[in-house]
Structure 1
Amino acid sequence: MRRSQKNKAGLFLAGMFCALFSASAQNTFKYAATIPKTDSAGFYKISLQPALVAKSNADLSDIRLVNQKGYFVPYIMADNLPQPANEKFMVFPGVGVASKTDTGTSYVIENRESLPVNMLWVKLRNTAVKRNVNISGSDDLQRWFAIEEDVPLQQAGLNSRGAYLQSLSFPASNYRYLKLLVNDKNKAPLKFLEAGIYTEQSVSKSYFEVPDARVSQKDSNKVTYIDIRLNDNYLVNKIELTITAPKYYRRDVAIYQMDKQDRIPVSNAELFPGKSNSLLFAAKGNELELQIDNGDNLPLSIKNIRVFQADQFIVSYLDAGQSYKILTGDKKAPAPDYDLKFFIDSIHQRIPEISHTAVIKNTTYQIHTTIIKKDNGMIIWIAIIAALLLLILLTWKMVTEVNNKTGKA
């Protein structure tokens, strides 16, 4: 067999397996949204609307960008972009030093001004290990409340500075104390050097209002219960309350996420005049409950309640005039690991922002599930058997060719 024929056959097999893998992977996502074609090639910030995020996993691990050929396109979360050099970096002082606990290494810092923060920059000694970190907040160093879990810590890039910075994104929170707990039980700890924020980009600058929120209020036993029901599993980052009376008040409010019959504590805050009375937290679901402690006072007169999601972005390089779509809706999908994260310095700070069209059901997923239910995966097995037969045929031709040459010799 000629070398060119072997190469063509090998390329055919590789292409067939890649096509099978790509198609099979796409078939696991229930929902899709189209991205409008761009006039020029380059990096773009793609805004993820609430309707799409509602169909995604809480950590957005099942977001995938696909080109018109059906291949996955690398992207990074916008929060991982480097900060502009002209912005002021504010270091949060450490409360003690990093300590080893039964579950891992903890590092506690103090947000003295209780600024609402949704991105923290952490300076670490160079390391080549992979770890996850849980982020929690507290106002008294006694009671700690979960903010974000299993946030991956990146490995150090190729540098000789001995340390590197990494951004940690999480729902906007204004706790006085933040704790980073690294899941490194029975392993050598990581070395934290400092942590802080860039003052101009510490808070999400834009929000999308979650549509069709249904609100009901009940005053009982010195407590006001406010039930907020949503028509999908939306990501909620902010609730705005418009309070008209009394003139002077100061009330504690507890926020819970309702899961069937359970109340899951999410956050605690205070309501008082002169404050925007915006509750910043993160919860993903279709029902929330606010409990306002009125003490011996009359209940607050609340004119309006609005629910918002902080704007979420992915950043990717898009070719001009090409069709792309976003896939989501696979509960088992792990977060992708793309090489693009090593080239964030090549991405300009100010890049065009685009969005996607309405979210629809992924037709390939519907076809896939119908076929699987009907034929028990027969088509996939047929493809595998066909590939094996082709390999056997190629091997037989190679052996025959070698035998013929040996006989002639």
Structure 2
Amino acid sequence: MRKICWISCLLCVFLTSGTIMCYAQDDLSNWQYSKEITGASLGEYKTCFLDADVYKNAATELSDLRVVDEKGEFVPYYLQSSALGENNQTINYQASKINTFEKDHNTYIDYKIKPIKENADIVANLLLLKVEQKNFAKNIEVLGGYDADNWTSLTHCTIYQVAQDTNVQVILPQTEKYGFYRIVIPNNLEKIQINQMDARLDSSTVTRQSFQKEVALTYDIKQEDTVTSISIQNPNRLKISSIDLNAQGTFDRRYDVFTQEGEELVPVGLNGRIFNVKFKDLNIQNTVIPLDNKPITHTSIIIKLQNKDDRPLTIKSIKGRYTIDKIVFKTPSAKNLLYFGNLEAKKPQYDLEQYKTYIERENQQICTLENLKRYEKTPIPKANSMDFNKIFNIVIVVVSLMLMGLIGWKLSKKNQAT
């Protein structure tokens, strides 16, 4: 009797575990696309940036991404984007003015950067200026040096404070390690004085740049009374983080940003100003519409410009920057595939996600995505799937009834014997 009970339990466990194993793994026949992950050797951690093919065909939240190795097994991964910012840091440096002089109507101002501790490298990508004058606009040149005698030209830019618009920051083209900076104000008849300068390392800026790409955007323009409506197409559903309007002339316009869902325009809560003011020797402009805090993935983005009584702008072109994600995975396999294109797939949960802060500090082999492949799904008749489930359930019921009958027969036989 006890033996029969044990057999019944084991059989039920076997059938149940078989059911779990059938459904624990995703069926790759439900995925429509894959791309080869190329450039991988036998390193431990590998990474590659997602491309337009993935964003166009994957689920909006990228929940359907699957990495598969050469054995056909799923590989744990996590996604990293600039929005996470675990490793971002800001370091501020104080600077002291060590020299200033005039030459040929040009003003030269030299600064020495103080390291945060003795013998530590000075690493900066941003200079912060303080200017006493109001209502000014001036072109300047910035040079860097390892001493106060030899200088390397780094960038030219315009600093200004005009009405409600101010820009007294210098964004360096790249991260620099100079301990000295020189500011040159050409033809400084206005006697503009820079009273203070500080340096800063903003690693989030570097991170954003490495996780962004530029794209030429296609668009249509319609005039609606005093409003210019610009319809921007985003067929690949890229994560648009900024939009730059290349418009002619001098202008100052307010804007509002919408997404289009069918015939309905949905405001995204983004508005501001773009402007372009040209003088004889300099240009003050801000024609970039930032979307960094709310990247837009809709296929249609609408920008409405308020012209008031001015003529509509002549827009020559529109560029966009979009944020890209990188996928990081751990496998010894050198041949891997990235599957995507299953809108019903749920995001997998991997332990690797918990350790990404540490993994980001490890060496990661950079790979690329190539050779898009589309799979034609073979529809499986629903009836067949239903029949399989019915048959499976019938078998379990029959086996259970047989076991119950056997147990009952044994019990009745035992009662008769007693």
Give me the TM-score of the superposition, normalised by structure 1: 0.56
Alignment: residue pair count: 280
Once the two structures are overlaid, the 10-residue window that deviates more, 297-306 or 338-347, is: 338-347
Indicate which of 256, 262, 265 corresponds to 2:258.
Answer: 256
CA distance in 2, matches of 1:379, 1:37: 43
Q: Do structure 1's residue 347 and structure 2's residue 359 form an aligned pair?
A: yes
Q: Do structure 1's residue 51 and structure 2's residue 53 form an aligned pair?
A: yes
CA distance in 1, matches of 2:353, 2:69: 19
Indicate which of 58, 62, 67 corresponds to 2:64.
Answer: 62
- Cα 1:250–1:33 change in 2 (3 A) is same
- Aligned-residue offset at 1:235: 3.5
Alpha-carbon contact 1:50-1:309 (below 8 Å) kept: no
- Cα 1:295–1:67 change in 2 (3 A) is same
Indicate which of 196, 202, 206 corresponds to 1:199.
Answer: 202
Q: Which residue of the partner structure matches residue 219 of structure 1? A: 223
CA distance in 2, matches of 1:65, 1:381: 33
- Cα 1:391–1:88 change in 2 (3 A) is farther
1:371 counterpart SS class: coil
- Cα 1:352–1:39 change in 2 (3 A) is closer
Question: Structure 1 counterpart of 2:208, which letter?
Answer: S
Alpha-carbon contact 1:67-1:325 (below 8 Å) kept: no
Question: Structure 2 counterpart of 1:341, which letter?
Answer: E
- Aligned-residue offset at 1:291: 0.6
- Aligned-residue offset at 1:70: 3.8
- Aligned-residue offset at 1:277: 2.3
CA distance in 1, matches of 2:48, 2:397: 44
CA distance in 2, matches of 1:54, 1:280: 22
CA distance in 1, matches of 2:389, 2:60: 31
- Cα 1:314–1:199 change in 2 (3 A) is same
Alpha-carbon contact 1:254-1:291 (below 8 Å) kept: yes
CA distance in 2, matches of 1:81, 1:221: 42
Q: Do structure 1's residue 312 and structure 2's residue 325 form an aligned pair?
A: yes
CA shift digits 1:140-192 (9 cap, x unpaired) = xxxxxxxxxxxxxxxxxxxxxxxxxxxxxxxxxxxxxxxxxxxxxxxxxxxxx
CA distance in 2, matches of 1:235, 1:313: 13
Question: Structure 2 counterpart of 1:277, which letter?
Answer: T
Alpha-carbon contact 1:47-1:311 (below 8 Å) kept: yes
1:59 counterpart SS class: coil
Q: What is the correspondence of 1:132-171 to structure 2 with a 5 Å cutoff?
A: none
Q: Which residue of the partner structure matches residue 271 of structure 2? A: 268
Q: What is the correspondence of 1:255-334 to structure 2 with a 5 Å cutoff?
A: 255-266=257-268, 267-273=270-276, 274-275=284-285, 277-281=287-291, 282-330=295-343, 332-334=344-346
1:272 counterpart SS class: strand
Alpha-carbon contact 1:37-1:323 (below 8 Å) kept: no
Q: Which residue of the partner structure matches residue 40 of structure 2? A: 38
CA distance in 2, matches of 1:357, 1:14: 38
Q: Which residue of the partner structure matches residue 246 of structure 2? A: 242
CA distance in 1, matches of 2:374, 2:222: 38
Alpha-carbon contact 1:51-1:234 (below 8 Å) kept: no
CA distance in 2, matches of 1:285, 1:217: 18
- Cα 1:228–1:347 change in 2 (3 A) is same
Alpha-carbon contact 1:228-1:288 (below 8 Å) kept: yes
Once the two structures are overlaid, the 10-residue window that deviates more, 26-35 or 316-325, is: 26-35
CA distance in 2, matches of 1:17, 1:291: 54
CA distance in 2, matches of 1:89, 1:15: 57
Where structure 2 has 5 or more consecutive residues not aligned to the other structure, the ranges are 4-9, 93-127, 129-200, 277-283, 408-418
- Cα 1:224–1:28 change in 2 (3 A) is same
- Aligned-residue offset at 1:223: 1.3
Alpha-carbon contact 2:40-2:366 (below 8 Å) kept: no
Higher Cα Rg: structure 1 or 2? 2
Q: What is the correspondence of 1:36-115 to structure 2 with a 5 Å cutoff?
A: 36=38, 38-79=40-81, 83-84=86-87, 87-88=89-90
CA distance in 1, matches of 2:389, 2:37: 30
Alpha-carbon contact 1:63-1:326 (below 8 Å) kept: yes
2:310 counterpart SS class: coil
- Aligned-residue offset at 1:217: 1.4
CA shift digits 1:72-110 (9 cap, x unpaired) = 32222213877448x3269xxxxxxxxxxxxxxxxxxxx
Indicate which of 343, 346, 349 corresponds to 1:337.
Answer: 349
1:54 counterpart SS class: helix
CA distance in 2, matches of 1:323, 1:74: 12
Alpha-carbon contact 1:238-1:310 (below 8 Å) kept: no
CA distance in 1, matches of 2:298, 2:340: 20
Question: Structure 1 counterpart of 2:310, which letter?
Answer: N
- Aligned-residue offset at 1:260: 0.4
Alpha-carbon contact 1:56-1:62 (below 8 Å) kept: yes
CA distance in 1, matches of 2:384, 2:246: 56
1:283 counterpart SS class: coil
2:251 counterpart SS class: coil
CA distance in 2, matches of 1:215, 1:389: 63
- Cα 1:36–1:44 change in 2 (3 A) is same
- Aligned-residue offset at 1:376: 4.2
- Aligned-residue offset at 1:262: 0.5
Alpha-carbon contact 1:251-1:271 (below 8 Å) kept: yes
1:285 counterpart SS class: coil
Where structure 1 has 5 or more consecutive residues not aligned to the other structure, the ranges are 2-6, 91-112, 114-197, 400-409
CA distance in 1, matches of 2:212, 2:349: 27
- Aligned-residue offset at 1:329: 3.0
Give me the TM-score of the superposition, normalised by structure 2: 0.55
Q: Which residue of the partner structure matches residue 375 of structure 1? A: 384
Alpha-carbon contact 1:216-1:226 (below 8 Å) kept: yes
- Cα 1:258–1:307 change in 2 (3 A) is same
